[in-house]
Structure formats: structure tokens, C-alpha cells
């Protein structure tokens, strides 16, 4: 196979029930073009935590190999998403004195302010994943986005800090490495999804993103163009499926199929006389079930999920400041009627988040379930460490190396 010299980006989204792998080329001007994708179902994770390493490793191998075959290259390293109910985040503000005699703020001052803001105590079993600048203040004047060259005696950095248990990152790293892939970065999944589906205007006005995964729903809020809040609730798409399985006494896999084929999260969308055939557990035959009954089950779970997200946000930020509304993404956003249910509790405008701004095989990543994987590619593009590939005929990978994201504006502090 002829070697390719075009830079490549590779991402891995390790969901609870499915792993998604993407390979993309970066063109002149920074355009990202999808050239390969792969998926693999698995049962190696639960609520963002790996519970079966061999099963997860094999699923990663299958997803990566499918993407490699489509792209005609072999993956060496990838940007990997991180999520889970144990991820914690908070805002931090720290101030430093400007070092120059003329009081002009330089790159070193910005770097020291960011370092001070990240020098906060975290539990021994946790590590800092991201330190994301929100804004700066010069001599107490807030709202500064880039203080370089400004004059003042004190520089304050306001950052959003994301921490994650060491066990989560180490298990992710071990699984990906054992699958023959090196980890170049780990990125919080809602942060990645936001890069793929949100517009700058939405982030400026105030927007809530909810990424409905299999076992959890991660959310993030942006205000005035900066990340303001991140969090997670322990309900995801698999809970909808499990509710159907329990109430209708059908196997989980049949409940999942029924949810996708005939499910609706709003009873008003379903005619009262519509009936579907539901297989009973243990091969005990088929029972007819009204679709309206299925919708009642799913609507109840959708209301719970959205209430959990909105209540979590409202404890920190007034919902009236989420002026651009709610964007639902992830595989759970495909459920018919969930957007309509989401409009009710807080009266926010709601839309489905679909990956944007791509070239190449865009049709293969046109659904919300690809938001995280696409966003990881976009973060890889912006990173100083590029995921690598080789021509597929060449075997082997490089030794382990983990380089985590230091902050969206870290590069501005190093110029």
C-alpha cells in the first residue's frame, strides 16, 4: 500500500455498549475529512467504568480494524473520550503579581496565573484532566479574554477544573494500549461533543449540552463563550431499554430493538390503537403490546432524565441564563419524542445536536451518536500532539505515551 503523507486524526469513543472509532485527514485550512469509521458492540463497561478489560480490548480492536480497512491505514495513536459518574469539576480563581517593571502582562504571567489556578487540592485518588480558562481579570476588572499586552499589577485567572479518578484513566489507558493503540490525549466527552455540535453564538448566549449515552448523561454549560459547568447524571439510554425489558417481560436485546423501531418518549405521538409484537423472556411466545404503553414507559424515564439534568444545572446557574437553550446529543437523542419532552420542564428551546463542519464521508457520522467521536477529532486537530497512522501493511505500534489536554488556551500562553 502506498504510504500517505497527509496528517491524520484518530478518535475513540468508548461508550457503555458500543465503541466508535474514526479516522480523518486534515486538509489545508484545517478542514477535517472523515476517511474511516468503525463500531463494535461490547459489554465491558457500565456507567462509564470498565468492568471487563478483555471484552473492552477486543471491542476496541474490532472497531479500530474496521476503521483502518475503510481508510487504508493503520492506527498508531488516538484521542480518547473520558466520562463517568465519578468525574468531578469546579471553578477556580487565583491571582499572581505581574512580573515586568513596566507592568505589561506577558506570556509568563499568563502561564503563572494558569498554573496557580490549577494548583488546587484534589483527592489522592484523583488527577486533573482539564484546566480550561474561562476568563481573566486585570487589577480586579473581569471579562478579559486575552490579557497579553495589557497593563496592570495583578492578573487573575478564572478556570474550570475537571478531575477524574486515576483508576478510570489508567483502565482506559490499559485497554487502549492492549488493543495496540497509543493514547495521545484524554478529553472529557461533553467537552468533545460541544466542539462538534455547538455554534459560537450558542456558547456566547448560554447553552446547555446534554450527551445521552448508554449508562449516563454528561452535560455541560457554556456562557459568554466559556465553559461554565460540567456534570453527569446516572441515567442513560440503557435505562430506557431496561424499563421496557422489565415491564414488558422481554429480553434486553429485544427491548432495545423495539425501542429503536417503535419507541416514542411522548404518548401524544402514538395512535391509541397501534400494537407491536413483543417476544417474551424464555421463549414463551409473543405478546401484543400497545405502542401507547411503551410510550408511557419511555416518557416517564425521559422526564426523570431531563429533570435530573435541569435540576443539577439550576443548582449552579439560573436556567434563565441558558438563552440559547438545550442541545440534546448522543445516541439517546435519537429517541422519537424526547426533544418535545425536553421543551416542557423549563421552557427552553431544544434542538438535536448533529456533528457539523466536516468533509469526506460525512454521511457515516450524520447522527448524534457520533458527536463525541467527531469532537475528539476536532480536539486532536487543535492539539500539539497529533494522533498518527501508518500504511495498514506496516505492523506494530509505538511505546506508551499519555499527553492530556492542558486547556483550550494553553497555546496562547506559550506563544
Element (H, E) at 170: helix 166-178
| Cβ proximity of 297 and 243 under 8 Å | yes
- Contacts of 31 by beta carbon, 8 Å cutoff, 6+ apart: 359
Which residues of the chain, if any, have pLDDT below 70?
1-6, 383-415
- Contacts of 196 by beta carbon, 8 Å cutoff, 6+ apart: 353, 355, 356, 357, 370, 371, 372, 374, 375, 378
Pairing of strands 286-290, 275-279: antiparallel
**Planar angle of CA 17, 90, 211, nearest 5 degrees:** 30
Instruction: Please tell me whether residue 279 adopts helix, strand or coil conformation.
Output: strand
Per-residue confidence (pLDDT) for residue 84, from 0 to 100: 86
| Cβ proximity of 139 and 85 under 8 Å | no
Read off the pLDDT of residues 202-225 as tens digits, 9 standing for 90 and up.
999 999 999 999 989 999 999 999
| Cβ proximity of 299 and 201 under 8 Å | no
Distance CA 300, CA 306 (A): 10
Q: Cα dist. 84→49, 253, 265, 311, 359 in Å?
A: 7, 23, 24, 19, 30
Distance CA 161, CA 87 (A): 11
Per-residue confidence (pLDDT) for residue 390, from 0 to 100: 53
C-alpha dihedral sign at 312, 315, 318, 321: negative
Q: What is the CATH architecture assignment of 88-162+406-413? A: 2-Layer Sandwich (3.30)
Distance CA 236, CA 219 (A): 12
Q: Cα dist. 124→68, 104, 127, 134, 364 in Å?
A: 39, 38, 8, 26, 42
| Cβ proximity of 25 and 31 under 8 Å | no
φ, ψ of residue 331 in degrees (nearest 5): -60, -35
Distance CA 220, CA 352 (A): 15
**Grid coordinates belonging to 294:** 411503551
Amino acid at each position: 500500500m502506498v504510504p500517505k503523507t497527509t496528517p491524520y486524526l484518530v478518535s475513540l469513543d468508548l461508550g457503555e455498549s458500543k465503541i466508535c472509532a474514526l479516522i480523518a485527514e486534515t486538509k489545508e485550512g484545517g478542514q477535517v475529512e472523515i476517511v474511516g469509521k468503525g463500531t463494535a458492540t461490547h459489554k465491558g463497561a457500565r456507567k462509564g467504568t470498565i468492568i471487563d478489560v478483555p471484552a473492552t480490548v477486543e471491542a476496541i480492536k474490532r472497531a479500530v480494524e474496521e476503521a483502518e480497512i475503510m481508510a487504508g491505514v493503520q492506527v498508531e495513536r488516538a484521542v480518547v473520550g473520558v466520562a463517568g459518574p465519578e468525574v468531578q469539576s469546579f471553578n477556580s480563581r487565583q491571582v499572581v503579581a505581574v512580573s515586568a517593571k513596566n507592568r505589561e502582562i506577558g506570556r509568563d504571567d499568563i502561564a503563572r496565573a494558569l498554573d496557580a489556578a490549577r494548583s488546587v487540592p484534589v483527592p489522592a485518588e484523583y488527577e486533573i484532566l482539564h484546566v480550561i480558562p474561562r476568563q481573566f481579570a486585570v487589577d480586579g476588572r473581569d471579562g478579559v479574554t486575552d490579557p497579553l499586552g495589557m497593563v496592570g499589577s495583578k492578573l487573575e485567572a478564572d478556570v474550570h477544573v475537571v478531575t477524574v479518578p486515576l483508576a478510570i484513566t489508567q483502565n482506559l489507558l490499559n485497554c487502549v494500549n492492549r488493543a495496540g493503540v497509543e493514547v495521545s490525549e484524554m478529553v472529557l466527552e461533553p467537552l468533545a461533543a460541544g466542539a462538534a455540535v455547538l455554534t459560537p453564538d450558542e456558547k456566547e448566549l448560554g447553552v446547555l449540552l446534554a450527551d445521552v449515552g448508554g449508562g449516563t448523561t454528561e452535560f455541560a454549560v457554556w456562557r459568554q463563550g466559556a465553559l461554565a459547568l460540567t456534570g453527569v447524571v446516572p441515567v442513560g439510554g440503557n435505562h430506557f431499554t431496561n424499563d421496557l425489558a422489565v415491564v414488558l417481560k422481554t429480553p434486553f436485546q429485544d427491548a432495545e430493538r423495539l425501542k429503536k423501531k417503535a419507541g416514542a418518549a411522548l404518548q401524544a405521538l402514538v395512535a391509541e390503537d397501534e400494537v407491536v409484537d413483543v417476544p417474551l423472556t424464555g421463549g414463551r411466545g409473543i405478546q401484543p403490546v400497545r405502542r401507547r404503553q411503551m410510550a408511557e414507559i419511555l416518557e416517564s424515564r425521559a422526564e426523570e432524565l431531563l429533570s435530573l439534568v435541569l435540576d443539577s444545572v439550576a443548582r449552579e446557574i439560573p436556567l434563565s441564563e441558558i438563552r440559547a437553550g438545550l442541545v440534546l446529543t448522543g445516541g439517546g437523542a435519537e429517541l422519537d419524542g424526547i426533544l418535545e419532552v425536553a421543551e416542557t420542564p423549563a421552557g427552553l428551546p431544544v434542538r438535536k445536536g448533529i456533528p457539523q463542519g466536516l468533509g469526506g464521508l460525512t454521511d457515516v457520522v450524520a447522527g448524534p451518536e457520533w458527536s463525541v467521536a467527531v469532537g475528539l477529532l476536532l480536539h486532536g486537530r487543535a492539539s500539539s500532539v497529533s494522533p498518527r497512522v501508518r500504511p495498514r501493511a506496516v505492523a506494530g505500534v509505538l511505546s506508551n505515551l499519555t499527553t492530556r489536554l492542558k486547556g483550550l488556551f494553553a497555546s496562547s500562553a506559550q506563544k
